[in-house]
Structure 1
Amino acid sequence: MPVIPVSPIAGVTVTGNPGVAGSTLYSQQSSGYDSALPFNTYEKFDTNAMWLVFAKENVALDDTTTLHNLTWYENITRVHSRLNDLYNTGPQVSEYNDPHTNIFGDKLWITKDFTDNTVDIGGYYIHDTYNSRNNFYNVLDGGNKNTVNIGGKIRSSYFTQDDFAAFAQDDFHPMKALHITPGVRFVSFQTGYSNGALQDFTYAPGVVLSSHCPLDGSSTKGNTTDQGASCGANESRNGVEPSISANLQVMPWMSLYGSYAESLRTPSVGGGGGLFQKVDPTSYHLELGQDFQAGAKFKVSHQGILNHFIAGISYFHLRYAKQSINYTLANGNTITANGSSIYKGVNLYFDDNPIYSLFVYGNASINDAVYQTYVTGAGAANAGTSFGGSHVPYVPRASFNLGAYYQDVVGDTLIEPRAWYQFTGTQNLFNNFTGAPSAQKMPSYGTINLSLKVAVPLTLPYAGRKTLDFKLTALNVANNRYNEYEYIGTGGYFGAAQAGQYLYAYPGAPLTIYGSVGMHF
């Protein structure tokens, strides 16, 4: 379903025709909190599919040396189809977006045990190809999901990424209570780009594609937009990632730990803009994460009301620097920015069964995430403006999960009822008009959830003893109304941009009940 305006917008109705007498304005306040537009006004269909195959090998080379290997192949596909959009009439009234990714990887390493050390040495290689294929078209202009019409908008950008790493890590334990683990990893990232639009689409008569090359700034006009760059590119970046951690068991029931690690990653690619497509790929740099954590873990057995009590508390501080920030709009265009941010806060958790067969658990996080720098780039209405000091959007200030379950065995059948409460605190919003974080916040929300699991043992011919699980789950049993995502738009989602900024939302699911059946082999 499309986003829903939180408040009514003049001219945006459930029929798509503001001139129809008595037509209801489309918003959470006027047409229903989680209402959807009728299909003859706005038809949207989305699917995401992923499948993965992998194999693991662990081979003992001798009493102290083990060879490990992990090989995998993954395929990810998405279909985003939008038809009958009465709010965006014209040559781009419909959209068919069917990107896909193919990934192959292998990780090989050796573990060697010494008297006071356990050493791991190895590496991995990952290759993936991502295609961003998309077509905005109109059948009345001769277009379809595979055919481009005059006035349409397309892309079919191919990104190939080859990531290689070599690493070494030493778990040094000079005494039983102390572990010190230094590590280092060399990483190499290669990213290639090419435009496949000419080969991947057919074209209605008269179509002339626009072209642009971010490498030299050249461009040519056409009657149809190609969001991908006309020139290919390849970029390579390398770096070193050091890390160290320590764990000290100061009491039989308490241990203290701390760690510091640096990590590098390639910036995201894809959508209708960003690196290689709209932004000069020579500006491509690796993003840097510098993470520090310190905390304590507790384990208490059979002490008062504590039976098998496990708990922990930790402080974290993450500096996420040199970010390339891309945000894709509903029309397929992309807003770009760059910046650095600081995430810091506290995590807590506990788990226990204070009474036989009764288990309780909980976890909580308090987080403060702020951009040190944030400068808007291409696509923003005010490119070059600084929003340093703004809170990072969609990072809850606080969240917690509290639950309990009871296990009972009747004959050979396990029965497990469970109840839990999930809370998500306030979050800052993103503003499409400014292309930057907003000071406006999305309200906090919480849901009560229940489930019942029944596990029945089975003995199958030639297969031995198995377990058949039946599970019934009810989410948001209080039918709480809340929005799980909100953003500030300019009105363009429902036609031509309006004079103002509007709040759009994806409502959270109401009371939802579903069941599942599984077998354990």
Structure 2
Amino acid sequence: MMIVREHSEDLRRIVRRVNQSLAGFALLAVSLCSASSAFAQATGIEGTITDSKGGVIPKATVTAKNERTGKTVSVTADSQGHFSFASLPDGAYDIDAISTGFGVAHQVAVHAPASLMLALPIGQATTDITVDADQTHSVAAALAPMDALLSETSARTEITGTMIKNFMSPVADYGEAVEMAPGTFTTNGNGVGLGQSKTNFRGFPDGDYDIKFDGIPWSDTNSVSHHSWAFFPSQFLGGIDFDRSPGTASTIGYAPFGGSINLLSKPFSPIENVRGSVSYGSFNTKLYDGEYDSGNFGPGHKFNLNIDVHHLGSDGYQTYNFQTRNAGDIQVQYKLSDKTTITGFSAVIWLDANTPNFNATRCQMYGAGANYTCTGTNAPFAGSGINFYLTNNADPMLYLDYQYNYYHVPTDFEYVGVHKEMAHGFILDFKPYTYNYDNSEKYSNAVPITDNAALIGTTYAPLGVKITALCSAGGCGVDKYNSYRTYGETSQLSQVSKLGIFRAGMWYAWSNTNRHQYPSDPLTNWTDQALPNFKETFVQDSYQPFAEYEFHPTSKLLITPGVKFSYYTIGTKQYADNGGKIGGLGTNNPASFIANGGSYFATLPSVAGNYRITNNWSAYAQYATGTIAPPSSTFDFTQSSTGTPVATLPKQQKTTTYQTGTVLKLKRVTLDLSYFNIHFGSGYSSFTPLNTGEPVYYPTPPSITQGVEAESNISLTHGLSLYLNASYDDAKYTGSAITYCTSSAAGCTSTTPTITTPTPSGLWVASTPSDILTEGLTYQHSGWDAGIFNKTVGTQRLDDGGFHNEATISPFTLTNLFLNYTIRGTSHFNNTKLRLSFNNIFDEHNITGDSISTKAKANTITANGTSYADPFNANISQAPAAGADAITILPGRSVMFSATFGFGPKGR
């Protein structure tokens, strides 16, 4: 029994131990299950924020939103752009990153934990609240100097800050910043950034498109033109959104006719930094620039500040065409709250230049040629000065004395922007602004003149030039003034809902202009004659209310119909003149004036759509209309003392644009391709009938331009990529045009048209190249940024008044090379850079512009018994060029070396 009890006791001890062990295992299992459950329910997401080129962006705000619960959490990236969400429930998350001056980067983390790389796009020029989210991880897109957007609804090119900073001269202006874009070319005869550059795209010259700065339209007031050297040099720019279309209804401006060049201010830096630059190069060009970024500072780090000041001086490529520019801009941002941001901008430029008011003739440039002859008055061109023959000049070369030509142009541009997010998805953007242009210019007429009457008609032997005018008789110089001040505002109210985004707003601008030109004598301290060539003041009002709805019927499709109304009014006060514009008003009293005015209205509908085929491939289509109001010269005609106002004003000129295209972003290749068909509404000409002083306006031939544009960036290897774009255009006149006889000798006795010319269909639209090609090779790696870009502009046809396709400009090519090295990291000297720029590296001197002189025409038409040269006959023969046509050429090779020294607190 004892043995049995002992064994039973042992058995109970074993059972207890087994039970204890099972309980331990059970407890361990429960613990492990709990831990496993906890591990499955709590995890992390981390990543890095960069810009489009891979540089880290510190202090960005990153938000994670759980797609199932809708709960959001936010963190701030550190100084190296790294962020981390330490513990999040498992699931899919929408990750959004944003930083001041950049757009939003978006990714979806489907299975946490995850490690992400988010690249922030550059900020947009418009007030759109949606930003194209690049989820493609395309290396080619990250390296592209210019690129398209997957979300675009028209042909657009985003010109990056990297392109501006690394792949163009430090003295470039905004015109030269867009010259490598598809279908685009820019010309400037005095050297990069050293004169008024003019940009053309798709056959639209300056004056046929908008230029905006941070969404604000600006323009000259007597016509829709722009002064590239007096506003917004490259030091003020952070990027460019180039839309080659009239845009949607919310695209505002003086001329949403051909497109919009949307200039963007520089993004605010979250890090404090000081930079100083010294540049020197060809034509004795010097540039000194200083820039300060404050980083976020003040209570709550809600303030940010950027200041840039610079001085530019250059002799210019053309002889005696010097330029001096002193300029500066300041940007301030204050985050009043998480939902309200106030931004201020101010820029001031003080420009002095010696640019004359004319170009050299073919004879002056080259002398006599095989198909033209030159007279003694066309001396070989030795500079941009005027042919002065003064008896007190010991040096015969002082006939080009440059002191008789100069500009003095101060400008300023200011705005305050308010961005406020409100309840129920409403967002308000409001931006009042003002800018001023004040051009005081003195220049001499481009004829040989003297201060000695005895020399008139004689020949200056050293140059073989005949002296033709006496300066003291007046008229050998011009005292010119053009000043205007504009006030305006842009406003937009947006509302975001599940179905899309509604936008409504208005642009309003008021301008006051004072202009005159007086014949003047530069040899007597610029004494003006009593009567001017013209003198006028005028006030303009521009209104453009708009409404559009960006409808999202599916997650992949958006359709944006809208309408814009364009109102434009002008009231002029024109003073008596010497017959240059309106005449003496019966009394030749310089104090007498006549008032004229007019109002214009246009309705501009549009509809555009974008379909996201896949995450990295989209297609778009657009129908858009644009307009230009007639210039102030509408009222420039001979008037009596009582005045003869225009009874029937010309209508606003309009375009209708149809576009379709596609954007694709693969890992190693980007491609955007577009087709466009543009119907140009007629411009207007006028004549004054015999029986009245009032002009009659009639349409000039309309035209259709159609073509294709392609743009691509190909990542080859290790930061090396090939950029390509090409455009092929077919631009032809259509319809017919009417001309009116204006002389009783031609049998004209009334306002009835007496001559109807044949249709000019098939004739090429002037100044529209047949093709434009760009090739670029860039290397961006380990602090090195190198690039070579080659631009070829195809054949252009030229018109001379009513004579179409009278001459051509042969194709020309421009090749630029850039080498840069930047110190990057966290040292005090972060962003210190060395730059070497070569423009026109092969020293080409091709003709880029020609004001063709009048030539005799072989074919005629007859009306009322009188023969007339036929301006629209495609088979007319051309007489040899007279040699008096003024031409412009590519400026010669220029080289610029620049050193930028950066300094910032270490570790920030």
Q: TM-score range by the shorter chain?
A: 0.7 to 0.9
Q: List aligned pairs for 1:326-345, cutoff 5 A.
A: 338-339=699-700, 340-345=702-707
Q: CA deviation at 1:500?
A: 5.3
The answer to whether the Cα contact below 8 Å between 1:95 and 1:137 also exists between their aligned partners in 2 is yes
| Alignment gaps of 5+ in structure 1 | 15-24, 199-207, 302-306, 327-335, 492-498
Which deviations, in whole Å up to 9, do the C-alpha atoms of 1:53-89 show, x marking residues without a partner?
Answer: 2222211112621111122222224354323754362
The reply on whether 1:275 has 2:634 as its aligned counterpart is yes
Q: CA deviation at 1:310?
A: 1.7
| Alignment gaps of 5+ in structure 2 | 1-355, 388-396, 450-468, 639-644, 687-696, 747-752, 856-880
Q: List aligned pairs for 1:411-422, cutoff 5 A.
A: 414-422=783-791
Which deviations, in whole Å up to 9, do the C-alpha atoms of 1:304-329 show, x marking residues without a partner?
Answer: xxx2x221111111122142369xxx
Q: Which residue of 1 aligns with 2:843?
A: 479
Q: Which residue of 2 aligns with 1:266?
A: 629
Q: Which has the larger radius of gyration?
A: 2
Relative to 1, partners in 2 of residues 1:253 and 1:69: Cα closer, same or farther, differing over 3 Å? same
The reply on whether 1:510 has 2:882 as its aligned counterpart is no
The answer to whether the Cα contact below 8 Å between 2:534 and 2:581 also exists between their aligned partners in 1 is no
The answer to whether the Cα contact below 8 Å between 1:375 and 1:388 also exists between their aligned partners in 2 is no
Relative to 1, partners in 2 of residues 1:465 and 1:137: Cα closer, same or farther, differing over 3 Å? same
The reply on whether 1:59 has 2:447 as its aligned counterpart is no
Q: CA deviation at 1:476?
A: 0.7
Q: Which residue of 1 aligns with 2:599?
A: 236
Corresponding residue to 1:4 among 360, 385, 404: 360
Q: Which residue of 1 aligns with 2:399?
A: 40
Q: Which residue of 1 aligns with 2:479?
A: 96
The reply on whether 1:193 has 2:572 as its aligned counterpart is yes
Aligned amino acid, residue 505 of structure 1 = I
The alignment yields a C-alpha RMSD, in angstroms, of 3.9
Secondary structure in 2 matching 1:503: coil
The answer to whether the Cα contact below 8 Å between 2:824 and 2:831 also exists between their aligned partners in 1 is yes
Q: List aligned pairs for 1:296-375, cutoff 5 A.
A: 296-301=662-667, 307=668, 309-324=669-684, 338-339=699-700, 340-372=702-734, 373=736
The answer to whether the Cα contact below 8 Å between 2:542 and 2:569 also exists between their aligned partners in 1 is yes
Partners of 1:459 and 1:267 lie apart in 2 by 55
Secondary structure in 2 matching 1:40: helix
How many positions carry a matched residue from both structures? Answer: 451
Aligned amino acid, residue 193 of structure 1 = T
Relative to 1, partners in 2 of residues 1:365 and 1:415: Cα closer, same or farther, differing over 3 Å? same
Corresponding residue to 1:442 among 796, 803, 809: 809
Q: CA deviation at 1:275?
A: 0.5
The answer to whether the Cα contact below 8 Å between 2:489 and 2:509 also exists between their aligned partners in 1 is yes
The answer to whether the Cα contact below 8 Å between 1:13 and 1:26 also exists between their aligned partners in 2 is no
Aligned amino acid, residue 499 of structure 2 = D
The reply on whether 1:176 has 2:176 as its aligned counterpart is no
Q: CA deviation at 1:168?
A: 1.0
Aligned amino acid, residue 513 of structure 2 = Y
Q: Which residue of 2 aligns with 1:304?
A: none
The answer to whether the Cα contact below 8 Å between 1:212 and 1:220 also exists between their aligned partners in 2 is no
Partners of 2:386 and 2:536 lie apart in 1 by 32
Relative to 1, partners in 2 of residues 1:351 and 1:48: Cα closer, same or farther, differing over 3 Å? farther
The reply on whether 1:289 has 2:649 as its aligned counterpart is no
Relative to 1, partners in 2 of residues 1:72 and 1:388: Cα closer, same or farther, differing over 3 Å? farther
More moved, 88-97 vs 105-114? 88-97
The answer to whether the Cα contact below 8 Å between 1:188 and 1:236 also exists between their aligned partners in 2 is yes
Aligned amino acid, residue 712 of structure 2 = F
Partners of 1:87 and 1:36 lie apart in 2 by 7
Q: Which residue of 1 aligns with 2:437?
A: 76
The answer to whether the Cα contact below 8 Å between 1:165 and 1:185 also exists between their aligned partners in 2 is yes
The answer to whether the Cα contact below 8 Å between 1:42 and 1:86 also exists between their aligned partners in 2 is no
Q: Which residue of 1 aligns with 2:772?
A: 399
Q: Which residue of 1 aligns with 2:508?
A: 125
The answer to whether the Cα contact below 8 Å between 1:211 and 1:220 also exists between their aligned partners in 2 is no
Aligned amino acid, residue 93 of structure 1 = C
Q: List aligned pairs for 1:126-145, cutoff 5 A.
A: 126-138=509-521, 144=526
Give the fraction of aligned pairs with identical amino acids, expressed as a percent: 17
The answer to whether the Cα contact below 8 Å between 1:42 and 1:85 also exists between their aligned partners in 2 is no
Aligned amino acid, residue 362 of structure 1 = L
Secondary structure in 2 matching 1:176: coil
Partners of 1:465 and 1:378 lie apart in 2 by 72
Relative to 1, partners in 2 of residues 1:212 and 1:174: Cα closer, same or farther, differing over 3 Å? closer
Q: CA deviation at 1:106?
A: 0.6
Secondary structure in 2 matching 1:407: strand
Aligned amino acid, residue 806 of structure 2 = A
The answer to whether the Cα contact below 8 Å between 2:766 and 2:796 also exists between their aligned partners in 1 is yes
Aligned amino acid, residue 510 of structure 1 = G
Aligned amino acid, residue 554 of structure 2 = M
Aligned amino acid, residue 605 of structure 2 = P
Q: Which residue of 2 aligns with 1:167?
A: 546
The answer to whether the Cα contact below 8 Å between 2:676 and 2:708 also exists between their aligned partners in 1 is yes
Partners of 1:358 and 1:375 lie apart in 2 by 56
The answer to whether the Cα contact below 8 Å between 2:718 and 2:781 also exists between their aligned partners in 1 is no
The answer to whether the Cα contact below 8 Å between 1:421 and 1:448 also exists between their aligned partners in 2 is yes
